[in-house]
Amino acid sequence: MSLLRKPLAALVVAGALVFSGPAPAGAKVATGCAKTYTVVPNDSWNRIAGKVNVTMSLLLKVNKANTKSLLLIGDVICLPKSATTKDSSTTLKLKPPAKRYTVKQSVAIIREFWPDKLEDRAIAIAKRESKLNAASYNGGCCLGLFQIHWLAHRSWLKDIGITSASQLLDARVNAKAGYAIYKRSNGWGAWN
């Protein structure tokens, strides 16, 4: 992985900072990059991909990394040539949801879409992410019950019939997409 590490860094682990010692001797300097990005607190490969409007797989590829590759605050990673920073042109323009769901209805919908052995954990995650408000939008990237990052997932969400960010404000659509993300990532990694 092509990284430039600052002498003292902090690991970004599930949104918490865990301080590490000095960066290893011989850390690679980012070379041959079209553009670079410096890792900040709470970054992950997925969040960075969303910030610069590229797919996570492309970001990982240009950094010769994988989803298990650690990011340290202050790391300088390579960005693909196609990377752009968010501006008003990438701000989501959302239509209000056609239907509002109560908390009780949202829980019932999660139970409908998720397998019995996973539904309690899925409900707990949706409660943490959105307070079970299907129309929740954090203003930056993520929508609905499971706070799904539209820009990071839109390339494959179309394969399951989700073609606009506004659709994720519907509890049924969001629960379906949340379960698809769970299956694609082989677990709860997207929400850890």
pLDDT digits (tens, 9 = 90+) for 31-53: 567 788 888 777 889 889 888 88
Check residue 139 and give its pLDDT: 67
Out of 26-30, 76-80, 121-125, 156-160, pick the least confident. Answer: 26-30
Report the topology of domain 103-191.
Lysozyme (1.10.530)
**Positive or negative: CA dihedral 95, 91, 15, 148:** positive
Domain(s) labelled CATH 3.10.350.10 in the chain stretch across 8-86
Band of residue 192 on the pLDDT scale cut at 50, 70, 90: confident
**pLDDT tens digit string along 128-183?**
999 999 988 876 678 999 999 988 898 999 999 999 999 999 999 999 999 999 99
Q: Which residue did the predictor score with more confidence, 19 or 136?
A: 136
90 pLDDT more than 50: no
Out of 9-23, 64-78, 94-108, pick the least confident. Answer: 9-23
The architecture (CATH level 2) of 8-86 comes to Roll (3.10)
Distance CA(167)–CA(71), nearest Å, equals: 32
10 pLDDT more than 50: no
Band of residue 15 on the pLDDT scale cut at 50, 70, 90: very low
Average pLDDT on 120-134 reads 95
Domain(s) labelled CATH 1.10.530 in the chain stretch across 103-191
Cβ burial of 89 (10 Å; 0-12, 13-18, 19+) is exposed
189 pLDDT more than 50: yes
Distance CA(78)–CA(63), nearest Å, equals: 6
97 pLDDT more than 60: yes
Distance CA(123)–CA(110), nearest Å, equals: 7
125 pLDDT more than 90: yes
Distance CA(192)–CA(186), nearest Å, equals: 13
